Structure 1
Amino acid sequence: MNKLDRLVRHSIDLDFPERMIDDKREHSQEDKKFIQKVNETIELVDGHYKMGLPFKTERVRLPDNQQYALQRFKGLERKLRNNPKFHTDYQKFMADILEKGYAGSCRITKWVSNSREVLEAIPKEERAKEIKDLKLEYDCLPVERALGTSWSVESDTIGFQINIENRPATRRGILSIISSVYDPIGLAAPFILPARILLQDLCRRGIGWDAKIREDDRKKWQRWLSDLPKLENVSAQRCYKPADFGEVKVCEIHHFSDASEYGYGVASYIRFVNEDGRIHCAFLMGKARVAPLKKITIPRQELTAAAVAVGMNRMLEKEPDINNEKWKYINTKSNPADDASRGLTVDKFLQNKRWLQGPDFLWKPESEWPTQEGISGALSNKDPEVKREVSVYSTVLVEQAFAVEKILLRYSNLTKLKKIVGWFLLAKKNFLDRCRKENKTMKATTKTLRRRVVKKQSHLLH
């Protein structure tokens, strides 16, 4: 198996080591001391941040490096004197950074904003290239790339810009195109899952990276590929809270998880309630992953999806002030994570607003949420996750064990047992040889006695 195969298989089975440890990297004691030192000494002075040097000890005696600095300065002076071009370039560079103010502080340029008022306040030369020549009064703001995603500045939404490269219908080509769809927060996770399922199926069957795939697989891939450009119609608001929402009184994060035989998924939403009781929900993050190559039960996949949801909660809860965790059951019809565990075609994905907006009940007061259905505690004996209670009945017949059985039961060391059995077999051989020898002697004696008796009887007859 080559390295690429191993990497793909590892990515598929990533969530199934069933580890009981938290992978969060903790700070060392030295890291904590450094952070404390920064927090205690950092201050803003004349537009610059200043902080104490993070020495390990309080009393530090620095070496005298005046002589070294003087040597460096003299070396630069000689180079400037001996190289006229370097001297000219150096002067020009220093004059340029002094004129632009770079030598005093870091100046931020290439500004982009969805607020026209903010852009009006920024000098034209410091705006982004695409905005410099726009008439802000009536021109539409452009589409920008922000952290690898497509940001429509005019509508302040994030989405996709799809550029399909020509790739062969092989495992390598399929993987290349799937990987080119950059979706860090899982906006299109339900649509991407079917392509990943196809790729996993090819991997399971051991199809070569550049081998021709079957006709039915090729048709599946072509259907998905033809739907891919429609992904540009998918978008979500960049800002979680509407501008006119007012003061937030309640902030909650809701995670939904689900699993099927094809995969498992998680969807997370933030829910706001303002002082007037108005409710707004926004998509936070989603994940859709294929089931592992080694078949496991649906309940176990459900637990894995729940564990992924917990991991997402730990990451997201550091930002807003959210309520304590509560676990609740939700049926499939109301669960948006069902889309991530089974996958959707792009048309169904565009028609179904549940994935990006959350289930309908989240937009209602909690009193109108679905009631918790009673869950029976009894489990079917056919459930593969239920450990069956096995009763074993045995009858013990008490009888005298043979010598060999006694020896086998007495010694647990194999080497010692071999020696004992060897001696036992040697003794058996000697005993049998002795018996045979005595038997021969006895037979010979019997013959001799018989001859004598016959001879005696014959003598008497005469």
Structure 2
Amino acid sequence: MLYVDNVILDGKNPDDLLRKYRKSKKVFNDVGMNLRDYLSNCSSVNDGIPLPDRASATVAKINGLCFDPLGLITPLLTKAKIFLQDLHKKKLGWDDALSEEDCGAWNTIKKEMTSFSVPVPRKVTQQQLCKHRTLSVFVDSSKRVYACAAYVTTETEDARRYTRLYCAKSKVALIGATQTIPNLGLLAIFIGVNMIEYIISRTGLKIDIRWTT
């Protein structure tokens, strides 16, 4: 009896790893076993493996690896969350291979995520010569997602204004729940209000004006 769970292979370079992929695939095909769910830490190796043989678990893994507690890249991660939810709707198991269509859609999302680059100012508000600060929280919803974003605007004594994204949050609508856009809009308001309370109570930031829309 031959049983295979996980196998770890190493190689000198991407070409060597791809040769080992093809060889291992052939060895197990010859005995009637479909070896799949290949995954490498080298993107060129992953690109060289046919879509049905790539690991489907990378969808959830990449989502989990994106540590973004402030929600600064929320729009970028939302597509991945929706895609993962769509896979659950299809009742795919953890080890089930993705269809070619799903693989293509995921590769497009993954490319956007891995190539995304934007500078994020570490300084959110001006401390010196601060006349007052305004906290603005925007909420919105669609058929699939509801979200909120908080901005802090600092006005200085010399009438200059600085506005920075402070934090954001999004949630994907529950599977199977009948929710209209107005319902999701109320949920967006709910997480927006919670965000305001958190910013005021936990950060110690002195806010003179607060408003939502």
The aligned residue for residue 258 of structure 1 is 140
How far residue 326 of structure 1 moved from its aligned partner, in angstroms, is 3.9
- For 1:270 and 1:164, the matched residues in 2 are separated by 40
1:271 equivalent to 2:153? Answer yes
- For 1:327 and 1:225, the matched residues in 2 are separated by 33
The aligned residue for residue 94 of structure 2 is 209
The aligned residue for residue 121 of structure 2 is 237
The aligned residue for residue 320 of structure 1 is 205
The aligned residue for residue 282 of structure 1 is 164
Q: 2:58 aligns with which of 149, 158, 173?
A: 173
Look up the equivalent residue of 1:298 and give its one-letter code. Answer: I
- For 1:169 and 1:219, the matched residues in 2 are separated by 13
2:134 counterpart SS class:
strand
Does the 8 Å CA contact 1:169/1:218 hold for their aligned counterparts? Answer: no
1:209 counterpart SS class:
coil
Seen in structure 2, the aligned counterparts of structure 1 residues 221 and 327 have a Cα distance that, compared at 3 Å, is closer
Q: 1:182 aligns with which of 58, 67, 72?
A: 67
Q: 1:194 aligns with which of 79, 84, 97?
A: 79
Look up the equivalent residue of 1:252 and give its one-letter code. Answer: T
Seen in structure 2, the aligned counterparts of structure 1 residues 239 and 326 have a Cα distance that, compared at 3 Å, is closer
1:310 equivalent to 2:204? Answer no
**1:356-435 maps to which residues of 2 (within 5 A)?**
none
Seen in structure 2, the aligned counterparts of structure 1 residues 169 and 264 have a Cα distance that, compared at 3 Å, is farther
Q: 2:178 aligns with which of 289, 292, 295?
A: 295
Seen in structure 2, the aligned counterparts of structure 1 residues 164 and 297 have a Cα distance that, compared at 3 Å, is farther
Does the 8 Å CA contact 1:164/1:177 hold for their aligned counterparts? Answer: no
Seen in structure 2, the aligned counterparts of structure 1 residues 164 and 321 have a Cα distance that, compared at 3 Å, is farther
Percent identity, aligned pairs only, is: 27
Does the 8 Å CA contact 1:259/1:301 hold for their aligned counterparts? Answer: yes
The aligned residue for residue 459 of structure 1 is none
- For 2:212 and 2:58, the matched residues in 1 are separated by 42
Unaligned runs of 5+ in 2: 1-40, 47-52
Look up the equivalent residue of 1:274 and give its one-letter code. Answer: T
- For 2:99 and 2:69, the matched residues in 1 are separated by 31
Seen in structure 2, the aligned counterparts of structure 1 residues 261 and 169 have a Cα distance that, compared at 3 Å, is farther
How far residue 320 of structure 1 moved from its aligned partner, in angstroms, is 1.7
- For 1:259 and 1:168, the matched residues in 2 are separated by 34
2:93 counterpart SS class:
coil
1:220 counterpart SS class:
helix
What is the aligned length?
A: 162
| Higher helix content, 1 or 2 | 1
Seen in structure 2, the aligned counterparts of structure 1 residues 283 and 168 have a Cα distance that, compared at 3 Å, is same
Does the 8 Å CA contact 1:251/1:320 hold for their aligned counterparts? Answer: no
Does the 8 Å CA contact 1:258/1:264 hold for their aligned counterparts? Answer: yes
1:226 counterpart SS class:
helix
Residue by residue over 1:371-419, the C-alpha shift from the partner in whole angstroms, topping out at 9 and shown as x without a partner, is: xxxxxxxxxxxxxxxxxxxxxxxxxxxxxxxxxxxxxxxxxxxxxxxxx
CA RMSD, 1 decimal: 2.2
**TM-score, normalised relative to structure 1:** 0.33
How far residue 227 of structure 1 moved from its aligned partner, in angstroms, is 2.3
- For 1:323 and 1:275, the matched residues in 2 are separated by 14
How far residue 327 of structure 1 moved from its aligned partner, in angstroms, is 4.5
Does the 8 Å CA contact 1:264/1:291 hold for their aligned counterparts? Answer: yes
How far residue 176 of structure 1 moved from its aligned partner, in angstroms, is 0.6
1:317 counterpart SS class:
helix
Seen in structure 2, the aligned counterparts of structure 1 residues 188 and 237 have a Cα distance that, compared at 3 Å, is same
Look up the equivalent residue of 2:91 and give its one-letter code. Answer: G
Look up the equivalent residue of 1:313 and give its one-letter code. Answer: I
Unaligned runs of 5+ in 1: 1-162, 329-462
Seen in structure 2, the aligned counterparts of structure 1 residues 186 and 251 have a Cα distance that, compared at 3 Å, is same
How far residue 168 of structure 1 moved from its aligned partner, in angstroms, is 3.6
Does the 8 Å CA contact 2:142/2:184 hold for their aligned counterparts? Answer: yes
How far residue 324 of structure 1 moved from its aligned partner, in angstroms, is 5.5
Look up the equivalent residue of 1:240 and give its one-letter code. Answer: V
2:120 counterpart SS class:
strand
Does the 8 Å CA contact 2:125/2:153 hold for their aligned counterparts? Answer: no
Look up the equivalent residue of 2:58 and give its one-letter code. Answer: G
Residue by residue over 1:155-204, the C-alpha shift from the partner in whole angstroms, topping out at 9 and shown as x without a partner, is: xxxxxxxx87869442x321011111111111111011111101001111
The aligned residue for residue 218 of structure 1 is 103
- For 2:212 and 2:95, the matched residues in 1 are separated by 46
